[in-house]
Amino acid sequence: MNEFKSDFPDFHLDFQILDEGDFAERLHSSPQDPHFPDVAFVDNDSDRRPLLDDKTVVMMWGQTRFEFADSWSWVILRQGRNFEAGKAFMLWLAQSPRWKPMQVSTASISPADIAKVQAISKKAVLAIAYGSRRALWSIMDPAAGHFDDFGVEIAGTVKGVQPLLTFGNSRLAFVLLAEVGQREKEVPLSSWFGMAHSAVILRNLGDGWKVLAFLPDGSLPYLEGLLGAFDHLGLDEGPAEAVPKVTLLAPADHAQLLHHPVPYLEWTQVDPNPAAYVLETQSTPGGREHWSPSWIKVISPIPTDSPLRMWMPFDNAPPQRWRVWAISKSGILSTSDWRKIDFTN
């Protein structure tokens, strides 16, 4: 409420907390009733499921910039008197109109390359939104971790894709984007509207820019934090010397692991130490070779020859595969082989 009042001091936002019975009563009142909601935050499936089955709501696409519990949904009531204002509220949840991109220090990338990586990143976003695997794979780096799970495909309308932040050097680039879209179809679970944020990491091997990693539908603070970790590497235009591949030590490939205790990951450091390592993971629900988009984490090297070891930071429910990048100060990187992990009860 404080954030909203700061952004829109002259707009009246009537915020009410309702228990389950009161919420159901409001929904069965007349849409002309001043107490009929325009937007609702539904925190349980028993309330959400009837709304979806009756096709009376539009679900939020994308993630908010606020922290909420896992099992929740923001929805716009179709019969509400202020449907368009509800859509504007959804966009505000994702990105405040007062938001400004963070200041970056890695800025040796040329204006011409900025235009190129932004254009390719937009193509990647549209390929994801429209479920076009062929279009996405045509702009992917040969070393990229390919994936098949595109999540919610906003195949109805993508109203716009806007690059918010671009930085890097002549070999490695990072783009933060916002896209507004909606999907309207007369089948359950298919009405969506909102703003999603994505990050794209691109590499130039001398024959043009390609997408090395596509990080879709993350909250704005999360993606800013991730890109900030890459900016802190201080990439420069140093010599393009090859970086040795990391050797993965544990767990073994196709390891069968228990959920508890939490397993750890271990790999050898390369010599000389790179600017950073990047852990990349993908999951495959149901055990099929149908991989999700990547989740990545930037990890600093340690000033010894000892292997680098860390607790497994990802969900240990579906099968996972993981690998490690090594990135030099000049933006050259290598990727290890993939290893797969299966979890048992």
Q: What are 87-131's pLDDT values in tens digits? A: 999 999 999 999 999 999 999 999 999 999 999 999 999 998 888
Q: What is the pLDDT of residue 156?
A: 63
149 in Cβ contact with 293 (< 8 Å): yes
Identity of the residue numbered 342: D
Q: How many CB atoms lie within 10 A of CB 199?
A: 23
Say how far apart CA 266 and CA 302 lie, in whole Å: 13
**Cβ atoms of 54 and 79 closer than 8 Å:** no
Highest average pLDDT, of 33-37, 46-50, 119-123, comes from 119-123
Give the model confidence (pLDDT) of 309-328 as tens digits. Answer: 988 876 656 788 999 999 99
Q: Which of 28-32, 45-49, 190-194, 204-208 shows the lowest mean pLDDT across its residues?
A: 45-49
Distance (Å, whole) CA 219 – CA 51: 25
Banded pLDDT at 279 (limits 50, 70, 90): very high
CA distances from 287 to 201, 264, 318 (A): 27, 21, 7
* pTM flag (> 0.75): yes
* Two tokens, residue 139: 């702009």
One domain for residues 337 and 312: yes
What pLDDT was estimated at residue 183? Answer: 80
CB environment 160-195: b (16+ within 10 A), e (fewer)? ebebbbbbbbbbbbbbbbbbbbbbeeeeeebbbbbb
Q: What are phi and psi of 182, to 5 degrees?
A: -150, 155
Quick one: 211 and 119 in the same domain?
A: yes
Q: Of all residues in the chain, what percent carry a pLDDT higher than 70?
A: 90
- pLDDT tens-digit map of 210-257: 999 999 878 999 999 999 999 999 999 999 999 999 999 999 898 887
Q: Which domain holds residue 47?
A: 2-94
Question: Both 74 and 125 in a single domain?
Answer: no
Number of domains within the chain: 3
> Looking at residue 283, which CATH number applies to its domain?
2.60.40.10
Q: Is residue 338 helix, strand or coil?
A: coil
Q: In 3D, which of 151, 148, 295, 128 has the Cα closest to residue 215? A: 295
pLDDT of residue 161: 94
Whether residues 307 and 332 share a domain: the answer is: yes
Q: Pick the last residue of a domain from 94, 129, 147.
A: 94
Domain-ending residue, one of 94, 128, 159: 94
* 219 in Cβ contact with 63 (< 8 Å): yes
Q: Output the CA torsion sign for 32, 34, 38, 43.
A: negative
Which secondary-structure segment (H or E) carries 45? helix 45-53
Do 158 and 73 lie in a common domain? no
Is it the case that residue 287 has pLDDT exceeding 70?
no
Rounded to the nearest integer, the mean pLDDT of the chain is 88
Residues 14 and 87 placed together within one structural domain of the fold:
yes
User: Residue 74 sits in a domain of what CATH number?
Assistant: 3.40.190.10
In this prediction, residue 71 carries a pLDDT of 59
Give Cβ neighbours of residue 239 (< 8 Å, ≥ 6 apart): 330
Looking at residue 151, its pLDDT comes to 65
